Structure 1
Amino acid sequence: MTAPPAAHTVRTHKTLRTDRQGPVLSIELNTPDEGNAVTGTMLDELLAVLDAQDGDVRVVVLSGAGDDFCLGGDRSEFAEQLAHDPTGGGIRASGAKARRVCEALSANPAVTIARVQGKAIGAGLALALACDLRVGADTATFRLPELALGLPTAWGGLLPRLLNEVGAARVRELVLTCRSFDAEEARQLSILQSVVPEGDLDAAVRAWAAPVVRRSPTALRITKHLFNAYTSATRLADITALDAELMASTLAAHEYTTGKAARRTGHLF
């Protein structure tokens, strides 16, 4: 007697597309014309989807539609937020949501997998790094441009995750130079655990997901808790709760002194 087929549900949101097939939930950033730039709406939808995740989900796959995984934060939205509230209140609110999204990925009871193609910049890199497993196309590129834009590396708890995964000396060089690096270097830095041709990304994700969905949900959940607990124990001080405040204060100060922030367009980071 054959087992019944796994339930398959596809939903399209304003900025996301979700595909639930049995124990695997796929979340696709779905604004390819904007490079899947992170907006307040996208953060709200990511939080809603992750908060609604049920206990039968064993694997969560995060991907991006189109040519790029994610080009970072939406600069035009930040400019609008500053124009509405020059003290940075809107940016603080977005920053707090960004931290909650990244925590929802890293602390997720399911195994989270980032599927990366094209560019993963700033906030896009932060979303990928919040996942347990990360596979990238051999043509993927990465960058942390915040300092070049006059910003601190303070989005979604990115910096302590980088320090923990990569190491202080290498992270310092990437943050201070703001240079791009390719998929092979990302693998050497443990930002990616696997690099494959772009056409093989889905197969690589399935190869990781297949054994995970057979694991005991209780053992899987406890193992995730243990990983997160031991990782947190290696951080002498985690001040990521201040990320939103640091970003808002820096942007508000820059707007006050230069008057340029509200006139920018494009992507921030």
Structure 2
Amino acid sequence: MTTLPQPVRTSTELRTLRIGQEGAMLSIELNMPEQGNVVSDAMLDDLLLVLERQSPAVSVIVLSGAGEDFSLGGDRFEYLTHLRVDPAGSGIRASGAKALRICQALSANPAVTIARVQGRAIGAGLALALACDLRVGGEEASFRLPELGLGLPTAWGGLLPRLIHEAGAARARELILTGRAFSADEALACSILQRTVPTADLDAAVEAWARPVMRRSGPALRITKALLNSYAAATRLADPATLDPEVMAAVAAESLRASGERPLRVE
């Protein structure tokens, strides 16, 4: 039986992640549990570093979060700092460009990417999970897209076109416009998750997916993933995700001016 590799810090360059590799499986754990694994610029830099140095021998990547929650989303206080340094939004634009590269690196990865979700997955955290091929959540997991309440658009990492493609336009519209929390059961019903299990069984569920994948032919697996991504893209009339960094920067800057430089808050 395959055992999931335990994440270990393998490089002093990584400040926010723990990584581990056993055979063809690479484990990436968001490792800022005291902050709810918020997706800061430092975490984006670490994720880029790991994904850009990924071994070609890797056929499965498991993305998880340390502590009680998968990720509470983007660091809104860091966004505010970016805007105070440059009210035109260059810092948010640069951060958004990195987020898009990471989500594209997960979705287009030659390896099969698996999101292991426990606790809350909010905003950017949900975007990271949704960029993965397979997503399993604990039965008590919950999800939310709070961007409108923060005065921001849903424009991070290509989240919107992926959400519409996976969950459907009507459901995506309702979740985004209301910003309400929704359960693992509802996420399963609209294909944001493909499986739910008791939280204690998450590792076993990930292993059950990973074990057969690692027996597949490398070339066949890479081609199949490329075909799946190509056919999925063909069903979209448009995918304006490349505009996400510009949209986020422009709206965040305008929201800050309109709010009199009050911190971004959920309403």
TM-score by length of 2: 0.94
> What is the aligned partner in structure 2 of residue 167 from structure 1?
168
Whole-angstrom distance in 2 between the partners of 1:115 and 1:6: 12
For structure 1, which segment, 159-168 or 7-16, has the greater mean C-alpha deviation from structure 2 after superposition? Answer: 7-16
Shift of 1:8: 8.6
In the alignment, structure 1 residue 10 sits paired with structure 2 residue 8: yes
Give distance in 2, aligned partners of 1:258 and 1:46. 32
Amino acid at match of 1:241: T
Post-superposition offset of 1:93? 0.2
* CA pair 203-6 structure 1, distance change in 2 beyond 3 A: closer
Contact preservation (8 Å) 1:6, 1:22: no
Quote the residue 1:184 is aligned against: 185
* Cα shift at 1:10: 3.3
Separation (CA, whole Å) in 1 of partners of 2:192 and 2:4: 32
**Are 1:152 and 2:179 an aligned pair?**
no
Equivalents in 1 of 2:134, 2:55: separation in Å? Answer: 20
5 Å matches for 1:102-251? 102-251=103-252
Tell me how far apart the structure 2 counterparts of residues 143 and 205 of structure 1 sit (CA, whole Å): 23
Is the 1:8–1:22 Cα contact (8 Å) retained in structure 2? no
Task: Please identify runs of 4+ aligned residues in structure 1 that moved more than 6 A.
Answer: 5-9
CA distance in 2, matches of 1:149, 1:9: 33
Distance 1:28 1:48 in 2: 14
Relative to structure 1, is the Cα distance of residues 227 and 83 closer, same or farther in structure 2, using a 3 angstrom cutoff? same
CA shift for structure 1 position 54: 1.2
| CA offset digits 1:138-158 (Å, max 9, x no partner) | 000000111122211100000
- The alignment-based identity, stated in percent, is 64
Distance 1:176 1:205 in 2: 32
Q: Identify if the C-alpha distance between structure 1 residues 253 and 187 changes in structure 2 by more than 3 Å, giving closer, same or farther.
A: same
Mapping of 1:40-119 within 5 angstroms? 40-119=41-120
Shift, 1:27, TM fit: 0.1
Change (3 A) 1:63 1:136: same
Query: Residues 129 and 218 from structure 1, CA distance in 2 versus in 1: closer, same or farther, beyond 3 angstroms?
Result: same
- CA distance in structure 2 between the partners assigned to 1:206 and 1:68 by the alignment: 20
Distance 1:182 1:31 in 2: 23
Looking at structure 1, the residues matched to 218 and 120 of structure 2 have their Cα atoms a distance apart, in angstroms, of 34
> Are 1:147 and 1:176, in contact at CA under 8 Å, matched by a contact in 2?
yes
Structure 1 gap ranges (5+): none
Q: Runs of 5+ in structure 2 lacking a partner?
A: none
Q: Distance in 2 between matches of 1:6 and 1:136?
A: 17
**Which amino acid counterpart does residue 111 of structure 2 have in structure 1?**
A
> Hey, what's the Cα distance between the residues in 1 that align with 2:5 and 2:194?
30
Which residue is 2:260 aligned to?
Answer: 259
**Counterpart of 1:86 in 2: which secondary structure?**
coil
Looking at structure 1, the residues matched to 171 and 259 of structure 2 have their Cα atoms a distance apart, in angstroms, of 32
Q: Is the 8 A contact 1:9 1:21 kept in 2?
A: no
CA 138–6 in structure 1, closer or farther in 2 if over 3 Å, else same: closer
Secondary structure, aligned partner of 1:26: strand
Q: Structure 1 8/125 Cα, relative in aligned 2: closer, same or farther at 3 Å?
A: closer
Aligned counterparts of 2:176 and 2:75: Cα–Cα separation in 1: 20
Equivalent position amino acid for 1:133 in 2 = L
Contact 2:148 2:154 in 1 (8 A): yes
CA distance in 2, matches of 1:95, 1:141: 24
After TM superposition, give the deviation of residue 7 of structure 1 in Å.
Answer: 9.8
Q: Is the 8 A contact 2:7 2:27 kept in 1?
A: no
Q: Is the 8 A contact 1:114 1:135 kept in 2?
A: yes
For the 8 Å contact 1:137–1:196, the answer to whether it is kept is: yes
Q: TM-score, normalised by structure 1?
A: 0.94
CA drift of 1:42 comes to 0.5
Tell me if structure 2 keeps the 8 A contact 1:117–1:139.
yes
Q: Which moved more, 1:228-237 or 1:58-67?
A: 228-237
SS in 2 for 1:10: coil
CA distance in 2 between counterparts of 1:10 and 1:200 reads 21
